[in-house]
A and B are shown apart, each in its own frame.
Chain A
Amino acid sequence: MSADATVPDPIDGGIGAHPMLRALVRDSRTRIALVVLLLVALGAILAPVIAPYDPIAQLDIERLQSQPPSAAHPFGTDPYSRDVLSRLIYGSRVSLAVGLGSVLLAMSFGIAVGIVAGFVGGAVDAVLMRFVDAAISVPRLLVLIMVAALWGRLGLVPLTLLMAGTGWFGVSRLVRAETLALRDREFVLAARALGTPVPRLLVRHVLPNVLAPALVAAALSIANVILLEAALSYLGIGVRPPTASWGTIIEDGAERVAELWWLTLFPGLAILVTVFACNALGDALRDAFDPRQLPRGSSDAAFASEA
């Protein structure tokens, strides 16, 4: 059975057995985050079933006024007399689509750039990393503002691409540093000595070892993209109306923010809860992957003598 040495022991090899996964599952942050994200995802997928009204239908076309929360409209209606709860449910689609789509793209590209820069080194590395250093220091919101201002409001796909195009710098730097550390490790040297072709070496031996930090970065990135999308929509340059997005609902109430508080409160809480879940998941992942950190609740190494 020596050929199976790398396969986890089937007896205690279930999901809970790996120390990282066990730490992750035990972490209350993971559980809260997964429940929240599951609910948001369900809301987004089942929006047509659970939304009480059509999100873009103007319900009271004669008076067209914003009503405070009531039994018929738990979250009130907006100045165009549309049901805020329904818009909120549909709005989760925009946040999730842009968040997941752009982060998936950005991570793939960033990981590829990072691995190549870290492994090849030399001039390629220098040029790529100088570019990344420069790009990372430009406030992302400014670039988005300028593109949106010059081209007008973007559709979902261009917006996702734009978020991806401005979102890969951080992860590429992270992955490069990891790759640099891996390059001279024994298992990589062994694979090289055995004549493994470089592409295969990168995919089979380097890539799996940089995925953990990239996953942490991805969770935090999704949070960031959802916040950016909301900010763009609030500035009036997000997805095109009448599509509902959380930031757009807030913008619809922004002119009379003191009166129409329900247009600010509910979508804001939706953003906050979703972003919190992504960040909490990212933190939990980071703590689980970081071997230096002791399990939560135990005291730190430096203080082990005391207590």
Chain B
Amino acid sequence: MRRYVAGRLLQATIVVLLVTTVTFILVHLAPGDPIAVALDRPSVTEEVRQRYRAEFGLDRPVAEQYLRWVGNALRGELGFSFSFRRPVADVIADALPRTLLLVGLALALSFALGIVVAVLQSERPGGARDRWLGRVLLVLYSVPDFWLALVVLIVFAYRLPIFPPSGIVDPVLHDYMSPAERLVDRLRHLVLPVATLTLLATAAISRHQRSALLEVMPSDWMRTAIAKGLSRRRAVRRHALRNALLPSITLAGLYLPALVSGALLVEKVFSWPGMGLLAANAIASRDYPLITAAVLVTSVAVALGALLADLASAAADPRIRVG
């Protein structure tokens, strides 16, 4: 186990190093330097520009800039956001928990839903229910994330104004509400983005869960269970499911990058002020420090999530840690 954990930690470190290096190279290769946009005004003279370049260390050798940048990033020093006029770290500290809430809720709900659907499908593989659920899931799997979000927005926020279209709380009334009403207000704002993301994730998760279930179906112990006289349903639920659940912990880690990408787009559609909306706004205002930091923080969060998932499945399954 110790060896497995060490190896996996090393791998997570490589991910973080790779991401920081690539980010740095990209920023460095990009036309103009990080402060060019902020200083892109006719009133700014060349002399001022040089002074700022010196102040931000942009006139130093590339290697030194890189080490300094990595060192700063490791200490949580992510630079200054030109569009928010606040330190990038503060801006991200506000946005990250909101994205984690969205992604966490969607992950939990879609796992519950995905497993139920996969079990329903696997009781009679190739049967009518399996095929129809499979088709519906394949459609859902093929829907563009942002488009599903837009359709949900149009239908459930505009045509049938049941839920609020954007934000995390009511911008006007929230301050005048009682604590209970505030909670309801927050929950009502969560419904559409979480539902959209859950639907998208369920499609992916149940597809994998179904193949994990079908994988264990031909095992000897399944044949024994059937031979003992267990019904299909019981055999799947009591025996196959338990053995097929374990790979889905790893799947959670593997699926995380896609889920986070989906969350970024869903946030943009529902104006949910998390990392995705932050990144979208940072692109629009060409706020380089904010964009690079958002990419960096999100990638590191994803790497950590995958690491946790792998460690959890190694803790649960000796076959994984022994190798």
Residues of A in contact with B (beta carbons under 8 Å apart): 130-131, 133-143, 145-151, 223, 227, 230-231, 234-237, 247, 250, 254, 257-258, 261, 264-265, 268, 271-272, 275-276, 278-280, 283, 292-294, 296-303, 305-306
Contacts and interface: CB of A to CB of B under 8 A. Distances in A.
B150 A250 contact: yes
Nearest to A235: B280
A231 B283 CA distance: 14
Contact of B139 (A138, A143, A235, A272): A272
A294 B214 CA distance: 11
A217 to B, nearest CB: 15
A181 B23 CA distance: 36
A141 B261 CA distance: 6
A289 to B, nearest CB: 14
Given A137-B303, A268-B151, A280-B138, A306 B226 contact: yes
17 contacts: A137-B256, A137-B257, A139-B260, A139-B261, A142-B261, A147-B26, A149-B283, A150-B29, A227-B145, A230-B146, A234-B144, A235-B280, A237-B283, A254-B150, A265-B151, A299-B126, A300-B125
Nearest to A144: B261
A134 B11 contact: yes
Interface of B: 11, 14-15, 18-19, 22-23, 26-27, 29-31, 124-126, 131, 138-139, 141-147, 150-151, 153-154, 158-159, 214, 217-219, 222-223, 226-227, 232, 235, 256-258, 260-261, 264-265, 268, 279-280, 282-284, 286, 288, 291-292, 295, 298-299, 302-303, 306
B23 A264 contact: no
B14 A134 contact: yes
Contacts of B264: 139, 141-142, 145
B142 A275 contact: yes
B26 A276 contact: no
A302 B126 contact: no
Given A146-B23, A303-B232, A272 B302 contact: no
Contacts of A223: 142
Given A272-B142, A276-B142, A302-B217, A139 B298 contact: yes
B232 A306 contact: yes
B279 A145 contact: yes
Contacts of B153: 257-258
Given A230-B146, A279-B141, A299-B124, 17 more contacts: A133-B11, A133-B15, A134-B14, A134-B15, A138-B15, A141-B265, A145-B283, A149-B282, A149-B288, A234-B144, A234-B265, A237-B283, A257-B150, A272-B139, A272-B143, A272-B144, A275-B144
A279 B144 CA distance: 13
Nearest to B141: A279
Given A236-B284, A300-B125, A302-B223, A271 B147 contact: yes
B226 A305 contact: yes
Contacts of B23: 146
A302 B219 contact: yes
Nearest to B14: A134
A300 B218 contact: yes
A218 B14 CA distance: 27
B14 A227 contact: no
B232 A149 contact: no
Contacts of A140: 257, 261
B19 to A, nearest CB: 6
B15 A231 contact: no
A146 B125 contact: no
Nearest to A142: B295
Nearest to A261: B154
Contact of B126 (A234, A237, A300): A300
Contacts of B218: 292, 300-302
B226 A130 contact: no
Given A223-B142, A299-B124, A235 B261 contact: no
A1 to B, nearest CB: 39
B158 to A, nearest CB: 4
A143 B279 CA distance: 12
B18 A258 contact: no
A272 B138 CA distance: 10
A138 B14 contact: no
Given A146-B23, A147-B26, A150-B26, A135 B18 contact: yes
A151 B31 CA distance: 7
Contacts of B147: 230, 250, 264, 268, 271-272
Given A137-B15, A147-B26, A303 B226 contact: yes
Given A133-B11, A137-B302, A258-B154, A150 B288 contact: yes
A263 B291 CA distance: 29
B18 A264 contact: no
Given A149-B282, A272-B142, A264 B261 contact: no
A31 to B, nearest CB: 14
Nearest to B17: A134
A293 B215 CA distance: 10
Contacts of A279: 138, 141-142
B309 to A, nearest CB: 11
Contacts of A258: 153-154, 158-159
Contacts of B223: 302, 305
A151 B291 CA distance: 13
A275 B203 CA distance: 14
Contacts of B139: 272, 276
B219 to A, nearest CB: 7
Given A276-B138, A300-B125, A130 B286 contact: no
Which of A137, A147, A279 has most chain B Cβ within 10 Å? Answer: A137
Contacts of B219: 302
